[in-house]
A = this chain, B = another copy of it.
Amino acid sequence: MERFRKTKEEFEEYLNEFAAFESVPLALREAILYSLVDGGKRIRPVIFLETLRAFCGDVCKNAKKFSVAIESLHIYTLIHDDLPSMDNDDFRRGKPSNHKKFGEGLAILAGDALLNFAYELILECIEETKCEKFMRAGRVFSQLLGSNGLIGGQSLDIENLSMTDEKLTYIFENKTIALLKVSALCGAILGGADEKEQELISKFIYHFGFAFQIKDDMIEFFSKKPPSFCDYIAHYGINKAKEDLEKHTKKALNALEKLKQDTSFLKELTEFAQARDH
């Protein structure tokens, strides 16, 4: 997707501009930048920027900072999720995970620092603009990511007790979808979407996120990797997974159809996410 590539490049510029971590103690700075500046897919900030653009056309300086806050939060979750006491992953994107490279103590602090940094940026946006949209977006951000959202979802994921339909849905809705939802919904809020439009964007990203995670699990399944604890196919089987991928993709596209704004990018992304093989 050419437009995805372009927006991703744009985001990498914002990252360079707003996430320098100057005058931070050297070892901590290295651990932070090792995971933050390493060419991830940047799906979340791209969704944020393109949703914002669908509603208002223009990305102001503070919205750029907000996109960096979203990616910082995402990288924090990756660093902490990889820890031995969580998913215990030694590799991430083909290189040693943060704690394998820097040790557990520094990896925990690098994650903490990125979580805190997201709020440094958001509170800077709020104080500089005094704009109610940033206040709303900041609050939505904090609520969807806390103990009632993403962190709560992760706490169920590491329990590793018996899996139920309800628990799997809870983990999908909170751990997986939370940050995608933050990205799209905060983009819509900052773009000036009204309540009805915010609801449609929430509906879109819910089904997009569900489809996205099912597809991830299918790719793992066909590559014959052992399934993780919270795995759609291990729980429901491949046939239901295929059906549900189809179903959620359709519902995501339906929600976008109801918006009068130009959501061609989000539509294309939804179709691309369903068809991808990696």
Q: Interface residues, chain A, CB within 8 Å of chain B?
A: 21, 23-25, 27-29, 32, 80, 83-86, 103-106, 108-109, 111-113, 115-117, 119-120, 122-124, 126-127, 130, 132, 135-136, 138-139, 141-143, 145-148, 151-152, 154-156, 158-159, 170
Contact = CB atoms under 8 A, between A and B. Distances in A.
Task: Tell me the dominant secondary structure on chain A's binding face.
Answer: helix
8 contacts: A24-B152, A27-B159, A28-B155, A80-B108, A106-B155, A113-B147, A113-B155, A126-B138
Nearest to A21: B147
B104 A123 contact: no
A113 B80 contact: no
A263 B90 CA distance: 54
A24 B174 CA distance: 11
A206 B29 CA distance: 25
Contacts of A146: 113, 116-117, 120
What is the total number of copies of this protein in its complex? 2
Contacts of A136: 127
A143 B120 contact: yes
A104 B85 contact: yes
Nearest to A126: B135
Contacts of A123: 122, 135, 138-139, 141-142
Nearest to A116: B146
B112 A151 contact: yes
B142 A120 contact: yes
A85 B108 contact: yes
Contacts of A116: 115, 142, 145-147, 151
A159 B146 CA distance: 29
B108 A86 contact: yes
B25 A109 contact: no
A117 B149 CA distance: 11
A127 to B, nearest CB: 4
Select the residue from A105, A115, A135 with max chain B CB neighbours within 10 A. A105
A24 B132 contact: no
A148 B109 contact: no
A24 B147 contact: yes
A109 B24 contact: no
Select the residue from A127, A130, A151 with max chain B CB neighbours within 10 A. A151
Select the residue from A27, A147, A152 with max chain B CB neighbours within 10 A. A147
Contacts of A28: 147, 151-152, 155
Given A85-B108, A126-B139, 14 more contacts: A24-B148, A24-B152, A28-B152, A85-B104, A85-B105, A106-B155, A113-B152, A113-B155, A116-B145, A116-B146, A116-B151, A117-B146, A123-B139, A127-B136
